[in-house]
Amino acid sequence: MKKVYGAYLCTGCGIGDVLDVDGLKDAASDAGIEMVEHGCLCGADGRAFIEKDIAEKGVNTIVVCACSPRVMQQEFNFGEQTITVRGNLREHVAWTGSLKEDGSVDDFLQEMATDYVRMAVTRAQKTELPVPYQLETICKKILVMGGGLAGLTAAKEAALAGYEVTIVEKEPQLGGKALGWRKMFPTAFPYDALENPTIHDLIAEVQGNSKITVKTSCEVARIGGAPGQFNVTFKGAGTASEWDAPAKVTADQQDLINKGELDDPNKGLQKYTTLNPEGEIFGAVVLATGWKPADVSQYDHLGYGKLTNVVTNAEFEKLAKNGKVPARVAFVQSPGGKDNDQDFPYCNSVTSMVALKQANYVVEDNPVDGKAYILYQHMRTPGNTELFYKGMQAKDGVFMTKAAVTKVDAAGSGLVVDVEDNLLGENLQLEVDMVVLAAGMVPTTAGENVINLAYRQGPAFLDLDLFDGYADSHFICFPYETRRTGIYTCGGVRKAETMEETIDDATGAALKAIQCIESANRGVAVHPRSGDQTYPDFFFSRCTQCKRCTEECPFGALDDDEKGTPLPNPTRCRRCGTCMGACPERIINFADYSIDMIGSMVKSIEVPDDDEEKLRIAVFVCENDAYPAIDMSGMHRNKINRLVRFIPVRCLGSVNMVWIKDAMSSGMDGALLLGCKYGDDYQCHFVKGSEIASRRMENIGETLGSLGLEPERCGVREIAISDYDKIPAIIDEFVEEIVAMGPNPFKGF
């Protein structure tokens, strides 16, 4: 489109009180756009002021220098055919400083503001109107993997919303583990009584819904494609196939196998056949494959696998459903021994509730002599489940104590449990008929591939060890998403949950799958840049096939074509820009976010070359945690160092090292990346952006060293969105390091 510019300066909210307004307008003019002022641009009069220029002058590219772009978004939205760029003069400048004692404008504060005006104007000049990527055809069917409580609920809710659903369940029947439950936790006030499972009613409801197709004794063999066009093939019991082919055995080997002198390589091998070789198309996938009990056999002192009546909680539930339970049962919630302050792996509030539920079975089935001993290190009953816990505390025959179990031995027809460090302060020996170990709930994605993706990055989710095997991308902010766009988790594969929580969780995952389909249909991104119409544009004629973009993309948005060239899948893309930051040839850009744009914004910052007190540090700021933290710091009127200039980026992973080189070569005295935490305290919305950026900065440090510049002039700092009060000190500490080094020796060249 042919751009017609309009630049507008708001003097409200204290901006005009501490800054030289005419100087700011001159800065915009010097950058190429005439700027006008208004006392309150976000008000009705201010919006009308801008709309008048749109109507009369044909303005379609608007620069608003006022408050943060994170606020007043609707007030400054002038339609999809209009480009609006925001310059943050309120939170990042006016609210972080003040006039001098003599009432004059602070030069340092004014210079900050003029730089932000120039950067906003430059951004507007380099921004293009995005054209959404849309598939030629889109499928709105949803695939649900797993026919347990979570999968059935997700299918039911999606169907009620009007979408066709296919459920794939590897077992011959629907229902999953819920079929083996005797009772379920209380779901209604006063939360004091167990309830009958509702799984059979749910199964009947799903089977009676014409929008839901059910495939039992079936698994997913392969998922290719992208949101809106996932191509899925299924496998079922039958003859061998390419996924699980039998090993070839010679005649001599077969003879030895028949004699029992050689193990049969195909013993126990499940054979499959492809059910739909051409594949079936789906718009989104809900992964609801559930959980499996954790292995507790490694705790020798507890006797599991050696003593007949030592069982897991899952095994005890089956026993309770099928018959009367023993009269004396010890429920062991932690392994004790040398790890006496730890729980069993994957234990949680659900396993605590299961122990309470099963203790109730003991006293219910044995009203005269029933005794249930719950031995725990941590008893977790959040929310309304606390009421059930208190009810069980008061129940005759139920005994609870914080304790360490040191040994379980056989004693006649029963067992004896040695207990230490309990709340009574004395060692105990409990004579019981059975010991129940609280095996935790391990997601099916831990240690095995259940998704079978036909992606360049591999068939499974990557880096699951980061999440203890759970298939999450950002647990706090986007709980249902995975590392693969369009595939959403719910139930036990996402986190340990009660039946009630699972129903809510599955409903949420179904809604996210629907949102993804509809977003793909409109050509916009899903979380976290929901509604973003841009997508990465590749200038392939200059591609060297280095594979950095495909290897570093956190979401598997890039495959390879037959020649080895990156093959984009735009509907998989989260628009983080990590591929843009990875590309050494700088051939990847977005319509409103490009190498040239950010580089030009860096160059628009005025770098004094004759004043050692006016050093300049470029700070590239992640838009998800760091930028809002800086905004909140400004809202709290925290002072900010006036030598820094904040440059917002989509993710630290999108920072191309050419920006750092440009900043240093233009005389900048330092460069800092400010973004999310990674590693054990992971918070990155784009999973690996901060980690990737840190690795790149290590390399750029080596480059600076070879040029005679201190590598310490470039740094990375991690902050959370809640660290707003720490921002000034973090910035000051880095600036002090730069000041100690002195000005960039390339300044002025």
Q: What are the tens digits of pLDDT across the range 296-341? A: 999 999 999 999 999 999 999 999 999 889 999 999 999 986 556 7
Do 235 and 331 belong to one domain?
Answer: no
What are 649's strand-pairing partners? 622
pLDDT at 140: 98
- Residue where one domain finishes, among candidates 416, 442, 468: 442
Mean pLDDT of 374-394: 93
pLDDT in tens, 576-630: 999 999 999 999 999 999 999 999 999 999 998 877 788 999 999 999 999 999 9
pLDDT at 568: 95
What are 336's strand-pairing partners? 339
Of the candidates 376, 374, 377, the one whose C-alpha atom is nearest the C-alpha of residue 341 is: 377
Which pair of structure tokens corresponds to residue 71?
């606020």
How many other CB atoms are found less than 10 A from the CB of residue 26? 14
Q: How many residues does the chain have?
A: 749
pLDDT in tens, 523-532: 999 988 999 9
Residue 369 buriedness (CB in 10 A; 0-12 / 13-18 / 19+): exposed
**Could you tell me which residues come within 8 angstroms of residue 32 by beta carbon, excluding any fewer than 6 positions away?**
5, 121, 125
**Could you tell me which residues come within 8 angstroms of residue 44 by beta carbon, excluding any fewer than 6 positions away?**
none
Look at residue 103 and tell me whether its pLDDT is greater than 60.
yes
Instruction: Provide the CA 80 distance to its chain's centre, in angstroms.
Output: 29
The answer to whether residue 580 is domain-embedded is no
Distance CA 181, CA 179 (A): 6
pLDDT at 563: 87
The answer to whether residue 223 is domain-embedded is yes
- Residue where one domain finishes, among candidates 495, 522, 549: 522
What are 559's strand-pairing partners? 567
SS3 content of the chain, % helix, strand, coil (to 5): 35, 20, 45
pLDDT at 240: 40
Look at residue 132 and tell me whether its pLDDT is greater than 70.
yes
**Could you tell me which residues come within 8 angstroms of residue 79 by beta carbon, excluding any fewer than 6 positions away?**
none
Sequence-ordered alpha helix ranges (H) in 285-348: 313-322
Mean pLDDT of 213-226: 94
The answer to whether residue 553 is domain-embedded is no
Based on the structure, what is the number of domains in the chain? Answer: 4
Report the SS3 class of residue 397. coil
Report the SS3 class of residue 610. coil
The answer to whether residue 613 is domain-embedded is yes
Contact 618, 669 (CB under 8 A): no
Least confident range of 159-173, 329-343, 410-424: 329-343
Contact 437, 296 (CB under 8 A): yes
Contact 76, 84 (CB under 8 A): yes
Identify the residue whose tokens are 């310490």.
712
The pLDDT confidence band at residue 481, using thresholds 50, 70 and 90, is confident
Q: Which residue has the higher pLDDT, 704 or 516?
A: 516
Looking up residue 718, the CATH number of its domain turns out to be: 3.40.50
Which pair of structure tokens corresponds to residue 57?
């002058």
pLDDT in tens, 29-44: 999 999 999 999 999 9
Identify the residue whose tokens are 């990465």.
536
CA distance to 233, 275, 285, 632, per residue, from 279 (Å)? 4, 9, 14, 50
Report the SS3 class of residue 653. helix
Distance CA 493, CA 586 (A): 39
Distance CA 519, CA 531 (A): 7
The answer to whether residue 541 is domain-embedded is no
Sequence-ordered alpha helix ranges (H) in 547-590: 548-552, 578-582
Distance CA 236, CA 655 (A): 46
Note the pTM of the prediction, 2 decimals.
Answer: 0.90
pLDDT at 264: 63
Which pair of structure tokens corresponds to residue 106?
């602070």
Contact 587, 539 (CB under 8 A): yes
Look at residue 746 and tell me whether its pLDDT is greater than 60.
yes
Do 698 and 716 belong to one domain?
Answer: yes
The answer to whether residue 485 is domain-embedded is yes
The answer to whether residue 589 is domain-embedded is no
Do 386 and 330 belong to one domain?
Answer: yes
Do 428 and 475 belong to one domain?
Answer: no
pLDDT at 129: 96
Distance CA 200, CA 206 (A): 10
Do 84 and 62 belong to one domain?
Answer: yes
Do 433 and 465 belong to one domain?
Answer: no
Look at residue 292 and tell me whether its pLDDT is greater than 50.
yes
Distance CA 311, CA 314 (A): 8
Do 362 and 317 belong to one domain?
Answer: yes
Mean pLDDT of 506-516: 97
Do 300 and 379 belong to one domain?
Answer: yes
pLDDT at 25: 97
Do 78 and 177 belong to one domain?
Answer: no
Which pair of structure tokens corresponds to residue 612?
């050692």
Residue 198 buriedness (CB in 10 A; 0-12 / 13-18 / 19+): middle
Do 396 and 421 belong to one domain?
Answer: yes
- Residue where one domain finishes, among candidates 489, 504, 522: 522
Do 606 and 749 belong to one domain?
Answer: yes
pLDDT at 336: 83
Return the percentage of the chain with pLDDT > 90, whole number. Answer: 77
Contact 429, 417 (CB under 8 A): yes
How many other CB atoms are found less than 10 A from the CB of residue 541? 6
The secondary structure element, H or E, covering residue 66 is: strand 61-66
Contact 382, 349 (CB under 8 A): yes
Distance CA 654, CA 593 (A): 10
Least confident range of 247-261, 267-281, 472-486: 247-261
Domain coverage including residue 732: 594-749
Looking up residue 417, the CATH number of its domain turns out to be: 3.50.50.60
Do 434 and 454 belong to one domain?
Answer: no
Which pair of structure tokens corresponds to residue 192?
């004091």
The answer to whether residue 552 is domain-embedded is no
Q: Which amino acid is at 426?
A: E
